Chains A and B, each alone.
Chain A
């Protein structure tokens, strides 16, 4: 099987190299047959990488420990669900995932646009296959997922327990889909610049894929945030961690790009800006991939250090150099067709939104790379924490939400006073009423949060007003009933109303972020069973009793779990029971850790307990004090070391089982005080709801229109008739 995987990877590399050469030759010599051959190389690449990925997945699912990567990232005790996901927890597997997704997306895009932009396509294909060459080359010459061990061990070291979370099945493929999809508009932008065809054509053709990239990357970021909130045991959803930031960077510049291309499509302006933005976004997507795997920056998400730093730095360097050269050498062709008529216009708002988004991206970039910058300048690695990020991102976020409210309703070219009055009166009233209503609730003490609530209410007001006016206009034209008019309105103007839904979702999301950041109560306390702790907002928890259990799967003991049963009360009334736990996973294949000690010396994960609601989340995590237990463990390890080989295996296993069971039970009977992290956080659910609205809006934008499908079919039939007539 490993030979098959290696062979397919090598073929993928060879075909990618061929495709780059065929595409470039076809473009330069204007030979369509060579360009078509290069495009087919992409289809073949998709087939080959699919085969290679299946081989790797099968190795994981069959626990084939002759594969080095399976041995180091899975075990027989890893649940099947997670064995499938373990493939991309490794560096080698994630490189293959990247290549596979890139080839699939590229094949889909090139098939969909096979009859369009024939001058741009050869270079776009060459760029896409250039990326494929790089990743396939890494797997052929540097880190192969199909490396084998001379002797296949009986057991693997297992999957990092932190990754055993359902969202981890989806999170990496979503992020990587986002990263790889950004390569597509990047490649077409390069093609358009090479042939100097910098009108809105390439934008129109790749806009849907840019939106797809934004959509998938956004889902990946949200799933990561949710995972962080539910799995990492610190109670937050965003830590400004380098790997989180790495995914946010292309998302921010990509968001700017998706807005500014509308100005180019409508007014022929911002061509240089758009080209630069998408080239930067493509480069940041590669940088994001690099940061996830490289380990050059300390991160809670860096699950392995990489040896691939130099090739990635060379690739990123080439991308930056090539992008700058292309934009500078094409500056004449990129000149705007129109000038900005007024600062009070839709174009100006888009420009403002772009400056804010790029400003945010710059802040995030600076903060992320500051440890490297400081080390290079002073020799000392210094990190910037969340307060530093908040200083800059909070005002920028306020401006962004404000602009997201103003943008949809302001006129193109120039807003007149009459026009402004008509469009802003009700939204301004909505914002003002929100401000006044919130003041008595003690929100004034947090002026930035209050400003966010007010501005978000204004933005929700403008978007709602747009929906109402659209329905009215539709009803005036067709006489449809309001619900039908709303549906038809959205169906016939998917870009516009999908976009508005996204703005609505972002406003809701930012309300959640502002509320949960400004009004959170966090307590880290030690409690003995029977003790009660107040949490703020009238909430209190009582540590009823310790809990412990052994989680056994078909393959054996998966983990030992120690936790607590807490009673949650609000104003003295019991409202729920919370059971936070901490799971201890055994080290696989490490006899030196001790027969019992291996259950305590491996990875441990926090299983948080939470009562979530629209108004508030009450969140709890526990760190049990296992010091007394560990003393007993040491004695047990010594005893079992002496007994090894002296007792029959069955008797030894039985005694070991009894000992572990006894330890777990004794914790329950006589637990020392445990440490609890207790958080009352308002409106966190709004963040997830806002995220869902954003993705619903993106889906509305992405959904293909019936017209498009019909047009494609018509063009395809027409071409077929023409071809058959030509052969007759």
Chain B
């Protein structure tokens, strides 16, 4: 048995265990954050797909494969779907901003309580407004 090889295998095992155990060590916030990212990415992808279809329908019309009436009907429907996706993207951004604001307030309140400050129950000092994507 090659001792050097055994050491290398043990090192690889440790590195692999460290990599796969990482997400289990981190808290739930990370998971929530990933959920938000996943939703955002899904909606962005769907939006891009609609944009692509709108462009393709126009190209079909211009190269004579779609009648004007069909193109307008398809275009109207796709644009309506894209608008709905944009609304959902905005709503997701606003909900996320709200969630983060609440999280920050709760964390500040928790810190104040822990410090035994009698005034801690009061709302935390106003923070500089943050430009969160999607927030209006």
Contact = CB atoms under 8 A, between A and B. Distances in A.
Interface in B1-58: 1-2, 5-6, 8-9, 12-13, 15-16, 19-24, 26, 28-31, 33-38, 40-42, 44-46, 48-49, 53, 55-56
27 contacts: A3-B2, A15-B16, A15-B20, A33-B24, A38-B20, A40-B22, A115-B38, A115-B41, A117-B42, A200-B49, A409-B65, A411-B70, A466-B63, A469-B62, A473-B62, A476-B62, A477-B62, A493-B55, A493-B59, A718-B40, A719-B37, A721-B132, A722-B36, A722-B37, A722-B132, A725-B100, A725-B104
A47 B16 contact: yes
Q: How many B residues touch the partner, as a band?
A: 35 or more
A412 B23 contact: no
Given A7-B8, A117-B38, 17 more contacts: A3-B9, A7-B5, A7-B9, A11-B16, A32-B31, A34-B24, A36-B34, A44-B15, A115-B37, A116-B45, A201-B42, A265-B53, A422-B64, A719-B33, A719-B37, A722-B37, A728-B104
Nearest to A716: B37
Q: Which DSSP category, helix, strand, loop or mixed, fits chain B's interface?
A: helix
A40 B5 contact: no
Given A416-B67, A469-B63, A4 B8 contact: yes
Contacts of B13: 11
A493 B56 contact: yes
B66 interface: yes
A35 B70 CA distance: 44
B9 A419 contact: no
A263 to B, nearest CB: 13
A650 interface: no
Nearest to A728: B104
Contact of B9 (A8, A34, A204): A8
A714 to B, nearest CB: 8
A179 to B, nearest CB: 25
B17 to A, nearest CB: 9
A549 B54 CA distance: 66
A423 interface: yes
A412 B66 contact: yes
Interface of B: 1-2, 5-6, 8-9, 12-13, 15-16, 19-24, 26, 28-31, 33-38, 40-42, 44-46, 48-49, 53, 55-56, 59-60, 62-67, 70, 96, 100, 103-104, 130, 132-133
Nearest to B8: A4
A53 to B, nearest CB: 14
B85 to A, nearest CB: 12
Contacts of B56: 493, 496
A501 to B, nearest CB: 16
B104 A1 contact: no
Nearest to A116: B41
A11 B36 CA distance: 33
Given A7-B9, A718-B133, A726-B100, A205 B21 contact: no
A1 B5 contact: yes
Interface in A696-717: 707-708, 711, 714-715
B103 A11 contact: no
Contacts of A492: 55
Given A48-B12, A413-B70, A493-B56, A711 B62 contact: no
A44 B67 contact: no
A707 B63 contact: no
Contacts of B103: 726
Contacts of B59: 470, 473, 493, 496
Contact of B12 (A11, A37, A473): A11
